[in-house]
Structure 1
């Protein structure tokens, strides 16, 4: 009996080590530099970085963070090529567009998502990110299960890229609780390259 219990403990310990090596999230805080995406931000204490895109074994684009789980709140800092088809509308960005029009293209793509219902835009306004002219969107929607989400998104065009800084959370409790954290992260955002 004792030998069997030790064998079970060894098996359990090995399983824990194996799963830890494949961890989908790692604790991240302090300055995070994403050389390939050409930006850096300061991540607050207690937040975790997603090491895999949801539902895949692939690394996510850019930086994806959460404190309590992606369904409850998430911060994303990514860049999208201007010539890439957007997921739902298949539209592309035009580098000559003013920020307000870039924001409208973003909204249209989100509205076209079949899992988005009752989208309500609260704000579409000019904003500055790292000294660059951009936009600020605030909107809410419901999932097919009636779960209400709220998103604040900043974005700007830089050369052949659209940079997006997004905070999304459950509209109740989580959104207000972590909004100041997102604002600090957004203020810390810096491009590694010089303005185009």
Structure 2
């Protein structure tokens, strides 16, 4: 017996896509930078140092002292010499009054006085530190005013361009369902 059969054939559709990629571009304009600088101000004030050299003792030791110093030295030494003379006169007077010693005091005193000298030293003492050096340091004052930098930055927005892509679908193969019946007794009741 030949049974009827139903045949079904099916085919899926096939779609093709034609694509165009999207594009984008980004540009970043440079920022503008304005800079202003105020310079640092420095003021310096100073006083000079002072160097004092006192060479009076050295010149005095060389015998080339100032006139005032020389006359002062002569006056002081003359006073000492006169005090020594007064003391020696008193001693000589005592010798002259001593008759009992049986010496010729007048002749001996005259003989001693004939060759006696009274030197006056007008030259100062020679020492290794006759020159006095004194240094007084000066001062330095610094006044400064700080500077500054002013920055003015103007940024710019980026330029962004976007071009979207495209998708074009197309049909490559049509879908279908095909049904067919085979056999002799299609309308028969079984």
Q: Same fold (TM over 0.5)?
A: no
Q: In which range does the TM-score fall when normalised by the shorter chain?
A: under 0.3
Tell me the TM-score normalised to structure 1 length.
Answer: 0.18
Structure with greater contact order relative to length (CA < 8 Å, sep ≥ 6): 2
Tell me the TM-score normalised to structure 2 length.
Answer: 0.18
